[in-house]
Structure 1
Amino acid sequence: MTLRAMMLHGIVVIDAYLVSALGEAALAAMGLASAIAGLLLGAQAAFANAGQILVAQAFGSGRALAQQTVFRTNLLISAGVCLLGLTIVSLVAGPVLRASGQSEAIQGAAQTYLTIFALVVIAEALGQSLSAHFTGCGRTRIPFYSYLLTLPVNVAVSYALIHGIGPLPALGLAGAAWGSAVAALLRAGYLAAFALGDLRRWPRGAGYEGGSLRRALTRNLAFSSPVAATFFSAQASASVCMLIYARYDLYQFAALTLILPWIHVAGTFGMSWAQATGVTVAQLLGQGIRGERLSAFLRVAFRGAMIAACLVATAYGVIVLSAGWIYGDLQPQTRAALLSFLPVLLLLPWPKNSNAICGNSLRAGGETVYVMALFLWSQWLFKVPLTALVVLVLQWPAGWALAILLGEELVKFAPFHLRLKRGRWRDPDRAGAG
């Protein structure tokens, strides 16, 4: 799961690396486009993460009909989210880009990138849902291999189309979008080929657990909507903050565009550990396991999260201190902004990883609404308003804006850990549906 997530976020890092040769203006255009495109992929990933928990519970119960029902409803929900997301973005992308304050050339490049990136969103509607299915069943190697197969394709196609290799045209930033689209379509086909084996094993004509498709979809949405809202809120707030960051000068905005994907890539070890913890907790609860065995597993999970935090903090330090070597074409102002991020990055993984263990465990036990509420207020009543204050009103340097990410984790720390210790979530029959 960790390696898969690193390669997923690594696609953005690689695209940024390839595009950095085109200059800070191209990086700024990519940052704008990714803020909007991230909302689309974030919505799909949100429902996929919720569906992953349902798959794990059905898999733990051993009921084939339950697994088949979750599989089908997850696919339908993912397709619906894709269609709705593309419709909304087609209506609001233009006004949002114009409100960013960047030049018309940067806005135009971002719009072109988004138009091509729609193919990625369509492919991921299938790919994310299938990845959730395999992960929930414990078959994490299949999604991992899908990225292992397609990442080189993405790099090769993107590089060739960005710079114009051989007979191919030099498309600049648009070339990076085409490379991502080709890789996403290939990955979806790879996952679909493996899913056919499960479809053949499941009972045909057995209908849906609960009686009908409508009832099955209602039950899926009742559980998944709070979980999806949590993940989507995180992506939406990040995109809003990215649009606020666009008010910085070109160099500080370029620095944020470079470092934020690295935060996701290096941080995936801790986040994947937490997601794996949630999947395992869901499977244990599906098997009826409670009490000391569950508590013992969680103690091991927290120790692993702290080890992961140490590794992630080290990785952040290496990335920032090596930025001048990684991105040789950057201006001195951009490198100085990157260096100012270091203190925050060394502290961020510790509370973030611990909170992630709490959040994923609570979701697995049915506390989906509590986790959603905690994320919503910490993002929309703390992170976004404070970011707007620091960037738009106080006009403090970008290092202060990044420090708000650490502050968000600190305000969630006590509510998360106190809720986990109360123990009510450990019994879904008492905790309720959400």
Structure 2
Amino acid sequence: MTQSPATASPTPGAAAVFALAWPMTLKAIFLHGTVVVDGFLVSALGEGALAAMGLAAALGGIVLGVIFAFSHAMQIRAAQAYGTGDAVFMKSVLVSGLAVSIVIGIVGVAAIALGGPVLIGMLAPTPLIAEQALAYLMIFTVVILAEAVGQCIASFFNGCSRSKLPLYGYLISVPVNVMASLVLIHGYWGFPEMGVAGAALGSAIAITLQTLFWIVLLWRTDGGLASVHGWHNSTFGPTLRRHIRFALPIAATFVSATMATHVCSLIYANMALNDFAALTLIAPWNLLAGQVAMQWTQATGILVAQLLGKHTSEATLDLFLARAWRGAFVAALIVALIFLVMCLSLDWIYPNLEAETRTILLGFLPILLIIQFPRATNAICGNTLRAAGDTVYVMHIFVWSQWAFRVPATALLILYFDASAFWILSLFLWEEVIKFPAFHRRLWRGDWKHAHVAA
């Protein structure tokens, strides 16, 4: 039976954001941590196997990145529908989101099947690595198709304030992935020894189970939507087009961020070895530790979308956002403290690193402490504006700050001025400074409080 929007408190506060954010944070950590675990398991096979897995995962990751980008848009649109309490709107969002995500998955798998062998043949350093990478990639297409369905359902759950349900799926898939991959890579207990392909098959088994679990949960919580008649925008065609118009700017924002990161990473390869190593090592820390503040701000956006769907008063919106904003600063402080502990523990965490690399990492500390606060407040603004449907404006802020500033500045500082890693990392801080007035001016103008999100 379809659940109705939560109405326990007319003005949700930090506790409501926390209740939504902590399962999302753990889910994100599990998602990114699984990649690290897979790499660790495959590392026992040698550098060639790691190269094969990395090559195949990079190609498959492009399609997954697009699926994840659209699933974020689905999360916000589902929150808007959930806030209205309109079952037709909720069904329309769910079916439209699934349609878009499944089409992306099918097109991506078809592109991999047609172009994957050629690309791998061109990029792989040896025929053996090419063979292993292709075997991994072909099995990995199952992961792509399963995630096309699963991530859409998980985002729908998040938008409906049921963020624990996606987390339960990861509590199943992560241990299954580790055990299945370990057994299939090495051929334990009578199973075939598949090497790199075993890691892909382990992931495919785990993600398929996870998606099936979410489908069952969806039927139990929202199965009533199947009997709802009609579409939010008269018929399915206009409904689907409206969903795509909403989702495209958000998806483009995430895809642009991923591409900008990859381009900058390629430029980093021209730096001195110790500088390059330090930037490479800090990247996963940024990704994992940053989830604490990032998921808080995303949860804030979900609740804003729900409140707008309920036509909440301006005073209530202002009160909620003030509470959520204070919580975002606490989350930013937690992330800053994580980096403080990390930088002061470098000798213990990375005992085998060269002293120069550890010195560079320690030098990052001022930037890592300061950046968390403008990043958190910018994210609050961005997610609030997205929740109100102001997605194109937010996209422009991200795209221009990345491609008109950070990427060219990175190239200029590295290729022409031979700048140190400290100054390259500082570009991320300056990017947040550049985005700050554009975000806050738009938010303070207040138009978002009158958004008609049910359109």
Same fold, judged at TM 0.5 (above):
yes
Aligned residue identity for 1:417: H
Q: What is the match of residue 100 of structure 2?
A: 77
Following the alignment from structure 2 to structure 1, what is the Cα–Cα distance between the partners of residues 365 and 195? Answer: 31
Alignment of 1:363-374 (within 5 A): 363-374=386-397
Aligned to 2:159: 136
Are residue 10 (structure 1) and residue 33 (structure 2) matched?
A: yes
Aligned to 1:153: 176
Note the 1:18-417 alignment, pairs <5 A: 18=41, 35-88=58-111, 104=126, 108=130, 113-161=136-184, 165=188, 167=190, 175-202=198-225, 204=227, 206-246=229-269, 256-322=279-345, 325-326=348-349, 338-339=361-362, 341-417=364-440
The residue that corresponds to 2:11 in the other structure is: none
* Contact 2:309 2:454 (C-alpha < 8 Å) held by counterparts: no
Post-superposition offset of 1:174: 5.0
Cα distance in structure 2, aligned partners of 1:87 and 1:406: 39
Give the Cα separation in 2 of the matches to 1:136 and 1:79.
19
In structure 1, C-alpha distance between the alignment counterparts of 2:128 and 2:364, rounded to whole Å:
25
Do the aligned partners of residues 30 and 358 (structure 1) sit closer, same or farther apart at CA in structure 2, a change above 3 Å counting?
farther
| Worse-matched range after superposition: 19-28 or 185-194 | 19-28
- Alpha-carbon displacement from aligned partner over 1:292-332 (angstroms, at most 9, x marks no partner): 11111111111111111111122233345546655677677
Determine which structure has more spread, i.e. the larger CA radius of gyration: 2
The answer on whether the counterparts of 1:255 and 1:338 sit within 8 Å (CA) in structure 2 is yes
Contact 1:270–1:309 (8 Å) recurs in 2: yes
Distance 1:303 1:276 in 2: 14
1:409: how far off? 1.8
Q: Distance in 2 between matches of 1:358 and 1:269?
A: 17
Distance 1:148 1:245 in 2: 36
Aligned AA (1:266): A
CA contact 1:24–1:250 (8 Å) conserved in 2: no
Letter of the 2:374 partner, please give it.
P
Distance 1:135 1:99, change over 3 A: same
Greater CA deviation, 119-128 or 78-87?
A: 78-87
Is this contact kept in 2: 1:44–1:81, CA < 8 A?
yes
Shift of 1:263: 1.6
Q: Please state whether the residue corresponding to 1:210 is helix, strand or coil.
A: coil
Matched residues in 2 for 1:20 and 1:340: separation?
30
Q: Distance in 2 between matches of 1:43 and 1:194?
A: 24
> Secondary structure at 1:289's aligned position in 2?
coil
How far apart, CA to CA, are the structure 2 residues paired with 1:171 and 1:137? 41
Secondary structure of 2:227's partner? coil
Deviates more, 1:65-74 or 1:337-346: 337-346
Sort the Cα spacing of 1:357 and 1:409 in 2 relative to 1 into closer, same or farther, 3 A: same
CA contact (8 A) 1:54 1:70 kept: yes
State the distance in 2 between where 1:334 and 1:110 align. Answer: 32
Tell whether 2:453 aligns with 1:423: no
Instruction: Give the TM-score, by structure 2 length.
Output: 0.82
**Normalising to structure 1: TM-score of the pair?**
0.86
CA–CA distance in structure 1, aligned partners of residues 317 and 55 of structure 2: 44
The code of the aligned residue for 2:237 comes to R
Tell me how large the CA RMSD over aligned residues is: 3.4
User: In the alignment, is the contact (CA less than 8 A) between 2:51 and 2:129 conserved in 1?
Assistant: no
Query: Could you tell me whether the CA contact under 8 Å between 1:28 and 1:106 is conserved in 2?
Result: no
Shift of 1:216: 1.0
What code does the residue aligned with 1:364 have?
A
Pairwise CA distance, 1:374: 0.6
Q: In 2, distance between residues paired with 1:333 and 1:114?
A: 38
| Deviation, structure 1 residue 126 | 0.8
CA shift for structure 1 position 237 = 2.0
Q: Which moved more, 1:386-395 or 1:15-24?
A: 15-24
- For the structure 1 residues 331 and 187, does the alpha-carbon distance in structure 2 shift closer, same or farther, using more than 3 Å as the test? farther
Shift of 1:197: 2.1
Instruction: Give the conservation status (yes or no) of the 8 Å contact 1:27–1:254.
Output: no
Secondary structure of the structure 2 residue equivalent to 1:55? helix
